[in-house]
Structure 1
Amino acid sequence: MKFGTSGLRGLSVDLKGRASALYATAFGRYLLDAGMARRGDVILIGQDFRDSSPEIAANCADALDDLGFDVGDCGAVPTPALALYGLQEKAACLMVTGSHIPADRNGIKFYRPDGEIDKADEVAITTVATELDRAGFAFEPRGTRPRDVSAECLAVFRERNFNLLPADWLVGLKVGVYQHSTVARDLLGEVLEHFGATVVPFGGSEMFIPVDTEAVSDETVVKLEEVARQHGLDAVVSADGDADRPLVADETGMPLRGDLLGLIAANFLGARSIVTPVTSNSGIEAAGHFSVMRTRVGSPFVIAGMQDTVAAGQTHVAGFEANGGVLTASDFTVNGQVLRALPTRDCFVPILAALALAASRRQPLSTIAAAYHLPFAAADRLENFPVETSARLMAYLRAGPANLAVFLQPIGEVGSVSDIDGLRITLADRRIIHFRPSGNAPEMRCYAEAESEAAAATLLRSGLERIRWWAQAN
């Protein structure tokens, strides 16, 4: 088990049973010892649609009940819905989800009563878990039945989204909803129909399908293109497994980049300060009337950056990641309604912001995307890439400029290097390539920016090929 960019992750078979109960117990004890909760307080649990999630959620419920918490079951619900309900109820939360990673893996995201845990919390929880493990922590499932609060949780999130736009704002738009196995599949259609859009649901699956909105697979793109053409759609929308990362494709079925969706959402909210990771598009600073802070990859770093920005006296503070998930550290007034701060990733705000822009301008999403004039960017990952190999590669590249120059020699000459998170190299010809191991999965990611879509795609392929070459040679 390991904390990564967002939550605890591991193989499903390893997380079931004792391991999930161990970390739930560690979280609960940490809350009690730190004075963030008392015995008898409500603690909420949500889950995604993975086969392993119900068992892991049940293990967590047993462990937290043993500690004296009043456990509430929010069911299969979007992570931002769980987080919002937790903030309203001043309750800690656990979300059982592996997000976008393969179905044989799963994870747990933790929330204090005041919001998502930070890196210091992760260290503290890990320390407690290690101490429990060494003391011979024992666990036997006993089938605790938490109170069902799923309807209440969903109602709070539904109302939040119903207030984002005027009634009938999306009338005239025909939108496909790629349902696959995201927990947002029903609510997305409901929200879009509330605003008058014609909804075409498709692709629902009882088997879990991992959808990475930051690196949409070629197979998924083909599916989106076929459905968009077949039904004459204005857009296709979806989300990852736990619905904290959006997927929006234009009228041709081509996905819009997540950082563009984040930028659209920031403008929609009227943000004055933006916090976003180094992997987001390099053109963001010039794309709006706001200050921009860059961070490492992962919601804890974005949240910390937003908190620092608020502490410095800034208002209208929002953040987003390259995957499109939007976070808010300030309350915003949208459509005459107060949108409460929700400092965790949300897929609904960027989806509705993009569709609202298309409806108000009466322009195709492809035209809107092109008007931002961002550098062309591409991203992908090598799956099932051993963590140990990633670590050795990054150590080699960081060992000295000669190693990096040799590695990149077939691609281009090194201009400058940023080491905020992974290695982000600006080449002498101003193209950008970024190598970054995943924080909590056996994946190696590569990001590329160039002067054209074809050049970015070529640079990305070259970067992935160099990673494969090095792994085979070493």
Structure 2
Amino acid sequence: MDSQLVCSEVIAKSGIVFGTSGARGLVKDFTPNVNAAFALAFISAIDNEFNFDTVAIAIDNRPSSYAIAQACAEALKQHGLNVVYYGVVPTPALAYKAMQDNMPCIMVTGSHIPFDRNGLKFYRPDGEITKVDELTILASNAVFTVLPENLAELTLDTAVSESYIQRYTSLFSADTLKGKKIGIYEHSSAGRDIYKSLFEQLGAEVVSLGRSNEFVPIDTEAVSDEDKQRARDWSKEYNFDAIFSTDGDGDRPLVADENGNWLRGDILGLLCSQLLNIEALAVPVSCNTAIEKSASFKQVKRTKIGSPYVIAEFASLAESYTSVAGFEANGGYLLGSNIEYNGKLLTALPTRDALLPVLVVLADNETIFGQLSKLPQRITASDRLENFAQEKSIKIINDLKKGASNFLSTLCIEHKHKIDLTDGVRILIENDDIIHIRMSGNAPELRCYSESSSLEQAHKLLYSSLCLLKSKSFIKDSYEK
């Protein structure tokens, strides 16, 4: 008799955990049986709510992603399900197609984290899984047979790209971007074979940039100095109206204005929401306060960081408002309700999308820099301490929750302050400056965000905070308390 394994037991021993967006871990921990356990546990968690016989799977360009997809497919077939494999496509493209076809899907991606790590994102037929679903997956007692050593090759279906492109070509006219010159920083993005074609179909002149055969971990919340300089150089060389890129799985946009300066993702989301005439927003607590200060929305609900928390607010907001959306500091845009735009219906897509915000902003007659100049001048900055032990992060966060006076005093900040514990520790200083410290939900990192009325002050707050957080004396003090 073939050996049987219980999903929850396999997952518990794997070292892989759910973060702010899916299950993440080291590639070496995503063994075939672990992948099978997650896939089957996901299906078991939603089996009683939906009627389906097929599950969709897609991947990003990480070297490890295809093998993970093979294992997931094998487990699903054991369960009597059909599997449709869409290959390398953006996460929102997979989610959109699966929702159209009323079936669940699994995206194999580690998003922006390094290639020695990977992850799994799960989507019900009606959108992203919830935090409750995550707990159900982790506790699943579903049983599967140990996977064979040699897994079957997957047959590629190419329908996703066409569906995703059609969502936007049907929304905009063919000359929407006529006269605009746009650079596409392709690197290893899962959507790199889609974007050029789409932008050209909308009338733009497009130049492909920086395509890489190696996986590039682009983090839209912590753009490298090298990529900042690249954008400025490209803009100067080609005289672009904008440069567009995404993270690894294409659900977080990265957009540079006509001067080659990358926009913060939450600022892009704010511009998009204004142009879409959104009434109510749900955004994570880390987003720029220019959202409220712009006075553009009837309600702004602040949440914990992570798309599931943003999505969880959509239902209650929809009870009072006809147009609902959300976005994150990383730029991922979530459309929480159907809306009318350009006299056409744009259906809800309650998962992070990189294309909608950039297309809406580029379709406006005003330049990106011109649009930015009309916003309240609130500058945010963010960075992280990488390979920072979780135990250190926990102790630092717990210490700051008890009081931030010593932390601020060490930074020579004597103003009164308040603390927001929605997610991590967000220190609201009386002079309107903000320092926000939290643990990463999917990597051994301690993240820091700052906000001020000037770029110089925002960066000063950020880097002085990071220097203090990683100092041995501060960590020692935190441990002793």
TM-score (norm 1): 0.93
| Aligned partner (choices 52, 56, 64) of residue 44 of structure 1 | 56
Structure 2 counterpart of 1:283: 290
Letter in 2 for 1:42: T
Give the conservation status (yes or no) of the 8 Å contact 1:31–1:37: no
2: CA distance, partners of 1:47 / 1:301 = 24
| Aligned partner (choices 125, 130, 138) of residue 146 of structure 2 | 138
Give the conservation status (yes or no) of the 8 Å contact 2:70–2:151: yes
1:309 aligns to 2:282 (yes or no): no
Provide the secondary structure at the position in 1 that maps to 2:349.
coil
2: CA distance, partners of 1:344 / 1:200 = 28
Counterparts of residues 424-435 of structure 1 (less than 5 Å): 424-435=426-437
Give the conservation status (yes or no) of the 8 Å contact 1:166–1:335: no
Between 419-428 and 371-380, report the one with greater CA deviation: 371-380
Letter in 1 for 2:33: R
For residue 148 of structure 1, report the CA deviation from its aligned partner: 3.2
1:366 aligns to 2:332 (yes or no): no
Structure 2 counterpart of 1:100: 112
Structure 1 counterpart of 2:7: none
For residue 147 of structure 1, report the CA deviation from its aligned partner: 4.9
Provide the secondary structure at the position in 1 that maps to 2:139.
helix
Instruction: Please list the CA deviations of residues 417-467 of structure 1 after superposition, one character each: whole Å capped at 9, or x if unmatched.
Output: 100001110123221100011111111111111121111111111111111
Provide the secondary structure at the position in 2 that maps to 1:416.
strand
Give the conservation status (yes or no) of the 8 Å contact 1:36–1:113: yes
Structure 1 counterpart of 2:408: 408
For residue 37 of structure 1, report the CA deviation from its aligned partner: 3.9
For residue 35 of structure 1, report the CA deviation from its aligned partner: 4.0
Give the conservation status (yes or no) of the 8 Å contact 2:281–2:297: no
For residue 29 of structure 1, report the CA deviation from its aligned partner: 2.2
Find runs of 4+ consecutive structure 1 residues off by over 4 angstroms.
none
| Aligned partner (choices 17, 32, 57) of residue 69 of structure 2 | 57
1:219 aligns to 2:229 (yes or no): no
2: CA distance, partners of 1:164 / 1:461 = 42
Instruction: Please list the CA deviations of residues 1-47 of structure 1 after superposition, one character each: whole Å capped at 9, or x if unmatched.
Output: 11011100000111132211111121122233x34245xx0100011
Counterparts of residues 64-213 of structure 1 (less than 5 Å): 64-128=76-140, 131=141, 138-149=146-157, 151-213=158-220
Structure 1 counterpart of 2:12: none
1:294 aligns to 2:296 (yes or no): no
Structure 2 counterpart of 1:14: 29
Instruction: Please list the CA deviations of residues 41-88 of structure 1 after superposition, one character each: whole Å capped at 9, or x if unmatched.
Output: 010001100001001111101111111111000110111111111111
Listed as ranges, the gaps of 5+ residues in structure 2 are 1-15
Provide the secondary structure at the position in 2 that maps to 1:148.
coil
Structure 1 counterpart of 2:243: 236
Distance change >3 Å, CA 172–CA 37, structure 1 → 2 = same
1: CA distance, partners of 2:23 / 2:35 = 10
2: CA distance, partners of 1:386 / 1:36 = 40
Instruction: Please list the CA deviations of residues 184-231 of structure 1 after superposition, one character each: whole Å capped at 9, or x if unmatched.
Output: 212111111111111111100011000011111111101111111111
1:28 aligns to 2:43 (yes or no): yes
Letter in 1 for 2:239: G
Between 460-469 and 118-127, report the one with greater CA deviation: 460-469
Distance change >3 Å, CA 16–CA 366, structure 1 → 2 = farther
2: CA distance, partners of 1:449 / 1:204 = 33
1: CA distance, partners of 2:155 / 2:215 = 26
CA RMSD of aligned residues (A): 1.7
Between 464-473 and 159-168, report the one with greater CA deviation: 464-473
For residue 408 of structure 1, report the CA deviation from its aligned partner: 2.2
Provide the secondary structure at the position in 2 that maps to 1:215.
coil
| Aligned partner (choices 377, 380, 387) of residue 384 of structure 1 | 387
Distance change >3 Å, CA 35–CA 332, structure 1 → 2 = closer
| Aligned partner (choices 241, 259, 262) of residue 266 of structure 2 | 259
Letter in 2 for 1:204: R
For residue 145 of structure 1, report the CA deviation from its aligned partner: 4.6
Letter in 1 for 2:26: L
Give the conservation status (yes or no) of the 8 Å contact 2:75–2:144: no
Between 239-248 and 213-222, report the one with greater CA deviation: 213-222
1: CA distance, partners of 2:441 / 2:297 = 32
For residue 388 of structure 1, report the CA deviation from its aligned partner: 2.1
Distance change >3 Å, CA 89–CA 293, structure 1 → 2 = same
1: CA distance, partners of 2:233 / 2:166 = 33
Give the conservation status (yes or no) of the 8 Å contact 2:420–2:427: yes
Listed as ranges, the gaps of 5+ residues in structure 1 are none
1: CA distance, partners of 2:388 / 2:204 = 41
2: CA distance, partners of 1:212 / 1:88 = 29
Instruction: Please list the CA deviations of residues 150-207 of structure 1 after superposition, one character each: whole Å capped at 9, or x if unmatched.
Output: x222111110011232221211111111000101212111111111111111100011
TM-score (norm 2): 0.92
Give the conservation status (yes or no) of the 8 Å contact 1:21–1:59: yes
Provide the secondary structure at the position in 2 that maps to 1:344.
strand
Distance change >3 Å, CA 198–CA 136, structure 1 → 2 = closer
1: CA distance, partners of 2:347 / 2:99 = 10
2: CA distance, partners of 1:147 / 1:210 = 27
2: CA distance, partners of 1:21 / 1:255 = 39
Counterparts of residues 334-353 of structure 1 (less than 5 Å): 334-353=341-360
